[in-house]
Amino acid sequence: MTALEDSKIREQHAQIEGMIKDLDAHASKGGDRDKTTRMISILSRLLRAHCDNEEKVMMMKGYKYLPSHRDDHNRIFDTLGFIVQVCNDKNLDIDSKIGKNIEHLVSEHVEKYDNQMITFLEKVG
Ligand SMILES: [Fe+2]
């Protein structure tokens, strides 16, 4: 992985982590629902761009676990899509633990998939 690709992926990870923290701080204290919805939408878009970037790098480097990694990205987006639907339906309540739940969803992926990918990319350069 080039230094630029590496720093881009790490920078995006840090940005995503920060946004999830902000979302949790807002939602856990029962903050304004529209703002919660906006924060989740922005986070989803950023995550999509980040995952697309990861998939591009994995494809370029011939990473053999790309299919399962991509499946797990899709699992995250299926779940986030469902969460956005709930947010947009004013008849449904948003769980105050939504930030924590998203944090769990993403950190599970980082531990199982991203760390393995980063180790591979550091080896192949
Ligand atoms: Fe990933």
CA of 90 to the centre of ligand 1 (A): 31
For residue 73, the number of C-alpha atoms closer than 13 Å in the C-beta half-sphere is 20
pLDDT at 29 over 90: yes
Percent above pLDDT 70 for the chain:
99
Distance 9 CA to ligand 1 centre (A): 10
Q: What is the CATH number of the domain that holds 113?
A: 1.20.120.50
Distance 113 CA to ligand 1 centre (A): 6
pLDDT of residue 4: 74
Q: Give residue-wise pLDDT tens across range 57-100.
A: 999 999 999 999 999 999 999 999 999 999 999 999 999 999 99
Single out the residue of 23, 118, 31, 13 nearest to residue 80, CA to CA: 23
Domain count of the fold of the chain: 1
Classify burial at 30, counting beta carbons within 10 Å of its beta carbon; exposed 0-12, middle 13-18, buried 19 or more.
Answer: exposed
Distance from residue 45's CA to the centre of ligand 1 (Å): 14
Instruction: Give the model's pLDDT for residue 1.
Output: 65
| CA proximity to 21, closest of 93, 106, 85 | 106
* 53 CA distance to ligand 1 middle (Å): 9
Separation CA 24–CA 7 (nearest Å) = 26
CB 102 within 8 A of CB 80: yes
Query: For a pLDDT cut of 90, what percent of the chain falls above it?
Result: 82
Q: How far is the CA of 93 from the centre of ligand 1 (A)?
A: 29
Answer whether 0.85 is exceeded by the pTM: yes
Domain range for 42: 3-124
CB of 87 within 8 A of CB of 94?
A: yes
- Give yes or no for residue 101 having a pLDDT over 90: yes
Tell me, in angstroms, the distance from the centre of ligand 1 to residue 114's CA: 5
User: For position 11, what pLDDT does the model report?
Assistant: 86
